[in-house]
Amino acid sequence: MPVGNSRLEQVRDGLLTDLLEGAAPAGSKLPNEQLLAERFQVSRATVREAVGALVEGGYLVRRHGSGTYVTSLPTRQHALDATLSYTRMIREAGMRPGLRVLSQQTRPATEEESAELNLSPGEALREVERIRTADDRPVVYSLDRISEVLLTDVPAPALTTPLYELLASVGSPVRTATAVLTPVIANARLAKLLGVSRGAPLQRIEETDYSEVGAPVMRSSEWHVPGIFELRVNRRS
């Protein structure tokens, strides 16, 4: 009988948390399948599939005859206390950046979006769905929402340009942002968009960008494939 997705996701989430929080540091050996199966109360087949997704994501490496080890990802660190240029970040990682616009539409803002962007309930916003690539490989899927008022005179083709540049061109340059990072696993749609296996680890970022006068101008939801660059949080007292 096939194992339900909930058990598989439980193992992947648990192992991913260990890796991201440093409980299993780079270079350390992962416990064997039997020990992990006992820890999570699942079958060894479920453990094997969960570990396979983390190997694919670049978090683990299998060494024949030795075991599975936590790898140190060849990432570039980028601080989240400054606005980010993914084009520059991808170039710094030694790869060729690319951008594909999957869709765009004008629609009423949801209650949550209205609150985040300081809009009236149901006010129109522009939603842009994009994929960023590195050497033609999908690495970031993003869903960006901007008040339609800011884009009244902006033609649709202009949305293929970097959105920070676009906002600056309409008099609302981004100066600050707040972001929440969450480790997640790929569902069927994200797996297809980013070219990974269903259940593979991803990094999700929910961000609101603010203009120089402190007005919210863009709400972004992003899903990152690990192994290209690392986003670092700097804390200040």
**pLDDT (tens digit per residue) in 205-228:** 999 999 888 899 999 999 998 766
237 falls within a domain: no
Q: Strand 137-147 relative to strand 124-134: parallel, antiparallel, unpaired?
A: antiparallel
pLDDT digits (tens, 9 = 90+) for 100-128: 999 999 999 999 999 999 999 899 999 99
Question: Is residue 131 located within the same domain as residue 216?
Answer: yes
The H or E element that residue 23 is part of is: none
Which comes out higher in pLDDT, residue 208 or 23? 208
Question: Is residue 138 located within the same domain as residue 180?
Answer: yes
Per-residue pLDDT, averaged over 184-198, amounts to 92
Q: Where do we find the tokens 């340009």?
A: 161
Kindly report the pTM of this predicted structure: 0.65
Which comes out higher in pLDDT, residue 19 or 24? 24
Confidence of residue 236 (pLDDT cuts 50, 70, 90): very low
Which comes out higher in pLDDT, residue 158 or 41? 41
26 falls within a domain: yes
55: three-class secondary structure by DSSP: helix
156: three-class secondary structure by DSSP: helix
Residue 131 in this model has a pLDDT that exceeds 70: yes
The H or E element that residue 7 is part of is: helix 5-20
pLDDT score for 86: 73
Tell me what percent of the residues of the chain surpass a pLDDT of 70. 83
pLDDT score for 20: 67
How many angstroms from the chain centroid is the CA of residue 111?
23
Of 104, 110, 112, 144, the residue nearest 124 (C-alpha): 110
Domain boundary residue, one of 70, 96, 127: 70
pLDDT score for 26: 80
Confidence of residue 234 (pLDDT cuts 50, 70, 90): very low
Question: Is residue 113 located within the same domain as residue 132?
Answer: yes
Question: Is residue 85 located within the same domain as residue 65?
Answer: no
pLDDT digits (tens, 9 = 90+) for 45-89: 989 988 887 787 677 888 888 899 988 544 444 444 444 567 767
Question: Is residue 50 located within the same domain as residue 88?
Answer: no
Which comes out higher in pLDDT, residue 183 or 86? 183
Per-residue pLDDT, averaged over 136-154, amounts to 92
Lowest mean pLDDT among 10-24, 85-99, 144-158: 85-99
Question: Is residue 165 located within the same domain as residue 195?
Answer: yes
For residue 203, how many C-alpha atoms fall within 13 Å in the half-sphere facing its CB? 21
Domain boundary residue, one of 70, 86, 118: 70
90 falls within a domain: yes
Buried b (16+ CB within 10 A) or exposed e, 190-224: bbeebebebbbbbbbbebbbbbeeeebbbbbebbb
Cβ contact 157:182 at 8 Å: no
Number of domains in the chain: 2
CA–CA separation, 95 vs 114, rounded Å?
Answer: 37
CA–CA separation, 26 vs 21, rounded Å?
Answer: 11
User: Which CATH number belongs to the domain containing residue 207 in this structure?
Assistant: 3.40.1410.10
Question: Is residue 136 located within the same domain as residue 198?
Answer: yes
pLDDT score for 2: 36
For 62, the domain range is 5-70
SS3 content of the chain, % helix, strand, coil (to 5): 30, 35, 35
Residue 237 in this model has a pLDDT that exceeds 60: no
CA–CA separation, 169 vs 177, rounded Å?
Answer: 18
106: three-class secondary structure by DSSP: strand
